[in-house]
Amino acid sequence: MTISAVRALTFDVFGTVVDWRSSVIAQVEAVATAAGVTGDWAAFADEWRYDGYIAGIGRVVRGEAPMVTTDVLHRAKLDELLPRYGLAALAEPARDNLNRAWHRLEPWPDSVAGLARLRTGYIVSTLSNGNVSLLVNMARHAGLTWDCILSAEITGAFKPSPRCYGEAVRLLGLEPHEVMMVAAHKNDLLAAAKSGLRTAFVPRPLEAGPNRTVDLTPDPSFDVVANDFHDLATRLGCA
Amino acid sequence: MTISAVRALTFDVFGTVVDWRSSVIAQVEAVATAAGVTGDWAAFADEWRYDGYIAGIGRVVRGEAPMVTTDVLHRAKLDELLPRYGLAALAEPARDNLNRAWHRLEPWPDSVAGLARLRTGYIVSTLSNGNVSLLVNMARHAGLTWDCILSAEITGAFKPSPRCYGEAVRLLGLEPHEVMMVAAHKNDLLAAAKSGLRTAFVPRPLEAGPNRTVDLTPDPSFDVVANDFHDLATRLGCA
């Protein structure tokens, strides 16, 4: 069995482990309500994520911008969004606190218990583009127990750069085929596979909300496809 | 109170959290007994630690040797020690497995429960010269639950280089005065303090065995002195 050598699971986090969208909408809405401002906070969250974070990562990966932390990417977009949504008056430290909404995301219903099961049989680590402090704070907030926090900030490159996967494997003291990338996103898994990692696809149909299409079709090359982390634990032989 | 701003505790590991000496003696002795070889395995462990690891770190910190992982430092010394102690015949993979004795160290009696108490109030992280995989494997072996694995391998410099403490603080997203270094070793704490961290001294009188003197006298500059991790938890206000 191709996956019998796997010793460690590395997890994409935003969207795969936590429901960033509902969490961010709720936190932005709470700030706006306190300020007496109404608006489309789902659109705010989507702009923040896709036009801010995802686009910013892409510029770094393509070499068009220098490496920065996710906190910095989030903050740059937040400062642009707030005036457009009637929240220009939001001052420090409330603005910094809202930027840290991404440190306080809620897990999917199966994440905490599924991860605990997986941890009985495998080293479980993050492998996220989020910065270390974001991931540490999120884990404590959400009750996620990781053996290790690995991040683009540590590997020196954002996913899907090969360096991100390669450095993570090296830091875990393993060979690529002993590490399985777990993600809800095909591009992450296809890039991991190019670096020799095994792959587990856990589609999260609710990640992107009603206005965006999520690609839920697994690639034939994926080693495992699971409905959620409980299903993944069962498929990987965890009690 | 000078320590009321502390948000994260960073722990020295070898000697402070785990009893490396008893653990290594036991593992070397088991290998030697299986090979029918007798010897002074305490002396073996001490040479491995002090003439191998500690001396090797010193050469890197002084710029006399390139940065390598702790596994590499341990292996170089092991390969030198085995023939001198009648174990030249030890072949791979047993030799590699013995080198990983340092991944399987036992905690002090208070470490697991004390750390769990401290984690209720603070981010708890390693800040060790040990490499990441060593620390991850040790945590799983010993039942230690860390929020984060920080290491010289991640910061790019061994303790007591200022870069090691400074990078750890930066990765945690905190200011130096919000991080407290916890160690049984004065030089580690004095170096951390120079980088602006707070300091907690937890002397471990049994670390070095009967043939070496351990300096148990706290420096007057230390912010906290505790008998063990339970005492530290109480002094830091953890339930």
DSSP class per residue in A158-216: -TTSHHHHHHHHHHTT--GGGEEEEES-HHHHHHHHHTT-EEEE---TTTT-TTS----
Evaluate if residue A184 carries a pLDDT over 80: yes
Interface of A with B (CB under 8 A): 71, 123, 125, 131-134, 136-137, 139-140, 145, 147-149, 153-154, 171-174
Residue B98 shares a structural domain with residue B189: no
Cα–Cα distance, A31 to A71 (Å, whole number): 19
Looking at residue A211, what is its pLDDT?
81
Does residue A166 lie in a domain region?
A: yes
Task: Mark yes or no for CB contact B153/A171 under 8 Å.
Answer: yes
Looking at residue A156, what is its pLDDT?
97
Looking at residue A155, what is its pLDDT?
98
3-state class (DSSP) for residue A133: helix
Residue A138 shares a structural domain with residue A198: yes
- Which range of residues forms the domain containing residue A136? 8-19+105-235
Distance from CA of A171 to the nearest CA of B (A): 6
Residue of B nearest to A130 (CA): B171
Does residue A3 lie in a domain region?
A: no
Domain end among B103, B134, B161: B103
3-state class (DSSP) for residue A8: strand
The CATH number assigned to the domain holding B132 equals 3.40.50.1000
Residue of B nearest to A131 (CA): B171
Interface of B with A (CB under 8 A): 71, 123, 125, 131-134, 136-137, 139-140, 145, 147-149, 153-154, 171-174
Is the separation of the CB atoms in B120 and B147 below 8 Å? Answer: no
Does residue B202 lie in a domain region?
A: yes
3-state class (DSSP) for residue A152: helix
* Mean pLDDT, rounded, for A94-121: 98
Task: Mark yes or no for CB contact B173/A133 under 8 Å.
Answer: yes
Evaluate if residue A1 carries a pLDDT over 60: no
Residue B77 shares a structural domain with residue B178: no
Residue A166, CA distances (Å) to A54, B7, B78 in order: 21, 32, 28
Residue B220 shares a structural domain with residue B156: yes
Cα–Cα distance, B119 to B9 (Å, whole number): 9
Percent of chain A scoring above 90 in pLDDT:
95
End-to-end C-alpha distance for chain A, whole angstroms: 19
Question: A10, A125, A136, A175: which to substitute to probe chain B, counting the most B Cβ within 10 Å?
Answer: A136
Task: Mark yes or no for CB contact A173/B149 under 8 Å.
Answer: no
Looking at residue B48, what is its pLDDT?
98
Candidates B206, B153, B224, B239; CA nearest to B6 is B224
Q: Tokens 């040790």 — which residue?
A: B138
Give the DSSP letter string of B81-141.
Answer: HHHHTT-TT--TTHHHHHHGGGGSPPBPTTHHHHHHHHHTTSEEEEEESS-HHHHHHHHHH
Residue B111 shares a structural domain with residue B227: yes
Exposed / middle / buried, residue B156 (Cβ in 10 Å: 0-12, 13-18, 19+): exposed
* Mean pLDDT, rounded, for A126-138: 98
Looking at residue B3, what is its pLDDT?
87
3-state class (DSSP) for residue B37: coil
Does residue B184 lie in a domain region?
A: yes
Distance from CA of B77 to the nearest CA of A (A): 19
pLDDT, mean over chain A: 97
Q: What is the pLDDT along chain B (239 residues), one digit of tens a residue?
A: 478 999 999 999 999 999 999 999 999 999 999 999 999 999 999 999 999 999 999 999 999 999 999 999 999 999 999 999 999 999 999 999 999 999 999 999 999 999 999 999 999 999 999 999 999 999 999 999 999 999 999 999 999 999 999 999 999 999 999 999 999 999 999 999 999 999 999 999 999 988 888 899 999 999 999 999 999 999 999 99
Residue A28 shares a structural domain with residue A87: yes
Q: Note the pLDDT tens digit of each residue in A213-239.
A: 889 999 999 999 999 999 999 999 999
Looking at residue B111, what is its pLDDT?
98
Does residue A2 lie in a domain region?
A: no
Residue A124 shares a structural domain with residue A154: yes
Question: Between A137, A140, A153, which is nearest B171 by CB?
Answer: A153
Residue A86 shares a structural domain with residue A150: no
Question: Between A134, A140, A174, which is nearest B123 by CB?
Answer: A140
Looking at residue A3, what is its pLDDT?
87
Sequence-separated (6 or more) residues with CB below 8 Å from residue A12: A127, A128, A159, A181, A182, A183, A184, A185, A188
Does residue B197 lie in a domain region?
A: yes
Q: Is the peptide bond before B160 cis (omega within 30 degrees of 0)?
A: yes
Residue A63 shares a structural domain with residue A132: no
Looking at residue B212, what is its pLDDT?
86
Q: Note the pLDDT tens digit of each residue in B88-103.
A: 999 999 999 999 999 9
Candidates B123, B50, B48; CA nearest to B81 is B48
Domain end among B79, B103, B127: B103
Torsion of CA B25, B29, B30, B36, to 10 degrees: 170
Residue A112 shares a structural domain with residue A222: yes
Q: Which residues face B225 on adjacent strands?
A: B201
Candidates A77, A66, A51, A221; CA nearest to A158 is A66
Distance from CA of B226 to the nearest CA of A (A): 26
Evaluate if residue A114 carries a pLDDT over 80: yes
Percent of chain A scoring above 70 in pLDDT:
100
Does residue A1 lie in a domain region?
A: no
Task: Mark yes or no for CB contact B149/A154 under 8 Å.
Answer: no
Looking at residue B221, what is its pLDDT?
97
Q: Which residues of A touch B174 (CB under 8 A)?
A: 133
Looking at residue A41, what is its pLDDT?
98
Is the separation of the CB atoms in A204 and A16 below 8 Å? Answer: yes
Q: Name the token pair of A166.
A: 């390669």
Task: Mark yes or no for CB contact B133/A172 under 8 Å.
Answer: yes
pTM over 0.90: yes
Task: Mark yes or no for CB contact A134/B173 under 8 Å.
Answer: yes
Distance from CA of B212 to the nearest CA of A (A): 33
Task: Mark yes or no for CB contact A171/B133 under 8 Å.
Answer: yes
The CATH number assigned to the domain holding A73 equals 1.10.150.240
Q: If residue B79 lies in a helix (H) or strand (E), which one and from where to where?
A: helix B70-84
Does residue B3 lie in a domain region?
A: no
Evaluate if residue A166 carries a pLDDT over 70: yes
User: Across the beta sheet with B8-11, what order do the strands follow?
Assistant: B148-151, B123-128, B8-11, B179-183, B198-201, B224-225
Angle at CA of residue B40, ends B38 and B45, nearest 5°? 120
Q: Is the peptide bond before A93 cis (omega within 30 degrees of 0)?
A: yes
Residue A87 shares a structural domain with residue A205: no
Distance from CA of B164 to the nearest CA of A (A): 14
- Structure confidence at residue A62 as a pLDDT band (50, 70, 90): very high
Domain end among B103, B138, B170: B103
Angle between helices A132-142 and A70-84 (to 10 degrees): 80
Output DSSP code: residue A54. Answer: I
Residue A164 shares a structural domain with residue A83: no
3-state class (DSSP) for residue A128: strand
Domain count, chain A: 2
